[in-house]
Structure 1
Amino acid sequence: MRVFIIAGEPSGDRLGGALMAGLKALHPDITFEGIGGTEMQAQGLTSLFPMDELSVMGIAEILPKYRALKARIRQTAQTVINTAPDVMITIDSPDFSLRVAKLVKAASRIRTVHYVAPTVWVWRPGRARKMAKVIDHVLALFPFEPPLMTVDGMVCDFVGHPVVAEQQATDAQAAAFRAQHEIGDAPVLLVLPGSRRGEVARLGEIFGQAIAPVLAQHPDLRVVVPAAGPVADLVIEAVASWPVAPVVLDPRTTTLEDAGQIKRAAFRAADVALAASGTVSLELAAAQTPMVIAYKMNWMSFHLIKAMALVDTVTLVNLVSDTRVVPDYLGPECLPDDIGAGLLRVMADPGAQRAAMDVTMERLGAGDDAPGLRAALAVLARLPPKGQADA
């Protein structure tokens, strides 16, 4: 069996590596071609070109590379057509992936699978119908996505979210983290201002000010900030003006493996977290850390998105658990005093959030087969019989 598999960024590479491992376990004679990073290469992939050529975000970053990206799209599609694999699997990165799929479908009957459904449940539900023109099968991370994606002959399987397979720190490791930083029994506030420079720039001051009312009621409060490597310098600069000196976890000062262990221990040791909106809410839920979510964006962008939004919250724990127990402060509501008050309420009564976190992890596949294996089973189960091409 031959598989052409494409990922365009590190998160997709991790999904791809786990999927490839699952496919190899189920089909030992499988061979892979495609584009991927270190995780996929560790499973035997020789990347057609470096994956980081595709890891660009935003109009300002994409425009200078537009012609080069178009050339890579054509090159990738033609390689798929020429090699005629049993299936092509694209992982997230829809701007690249779906353009490749369009060219492949126009010239062949190769089966196409896309891993990570677009967020049609947030806005632009018409994307599913448009996607169905070039994709045969979708692998979804969230249990509520399949009914939204099953249009025009496209099928969709929920395969579990990768967060349920991630290693978690033990209570002993959390205690060791507290001891190392001389925290003792003091309450710990974890602050996560984002992994992009723009996020840290917009949220750093606001998050610092939001700490003040919490500190007023909990003068022994300790603050821990796990910084993402690319923005660590900016985080260190931002926290210099905060009302309490935080412990900044800088991943550049240690190995990748050790940095991950330290971060997991910090998550487990924290009493509450303040985080930028994103998938970090699921990481916190997996660690059983109660949270408040906040995000600041351009005024016009916020109101355009709000006008098109199909949901009343962007926090994944709220959506998956079908609750609204995690406070989120977005756009013009991202105000320090309100965020601080929200943190105090969560600290006083975290029980409802912890119950919602349990529901979230269960619904995302905790206790079931690993998502990579479930994704592999879904791909193989949906393949047409050998020699029978897709219609």
Structure 2
Amino acid sequence: MKNVFVFGADDFNLSQIQAIDDQGKYRFHRLYSYQEVKAGPEFPVQQLYTGALRKLANFVGSIDAIVGYWDFPVSTLLPLLRKPYHLPSPSFESVLKCEHKYWSRLEQSRIVPDHIPDFCAVDPFSDDYRAQITVNYPFWIKPVKAAFSYLGFKVRNGAELDHAIARIREGIPRFATPFNYLLQFAELPDDIAAIDGNHCIVESIISKGRQCTLEGYAYAGEVTVYGAVDSFREGKHRSSFFRYQYPSTIPRRIQQQMMTISETFLRHIGFDNGPFNIEFYWDRRNDQIWLLEVNTRISKSHCPLFQKVDGESHHKIMVELALGKRPDFQHRQGKYRVAAKFMWRVYDDARVTDVPSPKRLKELQSQFVDVDLQLHIKCGDILSSLKDQDSYSFEVAVFFIGANCQKELLQKHRDVKAAIHLEFEPLD
């Protein structure tokens, strides 16, 4: 039996991972919980790194795989934790070339320049930050390391830039301090060593048309894409996710071009023996494909979608790669033809005054068969205190829903949302 360590395990995803083991081949171990890794006021990366190495060294038995499905700091730490045990893994440097947003754009500019925006780095703590920006208004500014669009702002003029810089100065240490600790473990080129986690990247706007994410993996030098998921946005600047829907309805020829871009870039940076998901925009009017972001992990948000449509979660791919095996993943063997993750968002700060009781949630789960419900709030919460939200909304709940057509899917979402009673009171 193989011992598989899950770094930052939460109950929902751990249950999905355990469900892939229908033959009793694996024994799964929590290597820290979600609460210990992601839920605190800061990311204790140094303690997590040294503590995880200590836990592994004290384990009695074989260490066969170390996996994780969260973004920073989990995805960044995995190569470092695997290295002492010579476990299959992308190299730490190839992971950084995806997760350091400026370094990633620099490498992309060398191999797929026609599919990326204009960009530049900026030091938000510098008095002359305006002079450092070479991209014309409007643009997006965001830290070189963050998650969930944290501290990402659309900027149309100098006043909005000043506002964004003030917010970034206040919040950027949450990711920058632990990220800078990890940068010491890599040999950085001079042009990257000067751009640490306290910096931002500015990019011209490419968010036109339809957004699509490819889920895939690299194994033994080969790049494989096994699914494409559409992303639908809403809210101010259409910058907040409303739903992820699988399978994608973007034309196959466009998906194929996205696959080619993905393979070209991943080969260029030497990324191998790991999963990835890569986000794109397709500007249909100009038939232009833009590469938005490269993530060095599976998307946990897509796992229930693959399970509902394909019949198994792609946690399976994550585990098999970590064990050094070529993944074997089935397609279209699930109960439904289409599935989506819906995000319930609130756009103004407020205090939560009413949520369903645990008993009511169980009743709802029984009422809506095969719908997975997750609440992110409790009574008394102030929405602006929720961790790692985007700059324009607060995610209060999510629903994973399967259906046999899009019309049925959207109706199920309306029915579920109507049945869940949430109340908020505005803040002065």
For this structure pair, what is the TM-score category when the shorter chain's length is used for normalisation?
0.3 to 0.5
TM-score by length of 1: 0.34
Q: Which has the higher helix share?
A: 1
Provide the TM-score with structure 2 as the length reference.
0.32
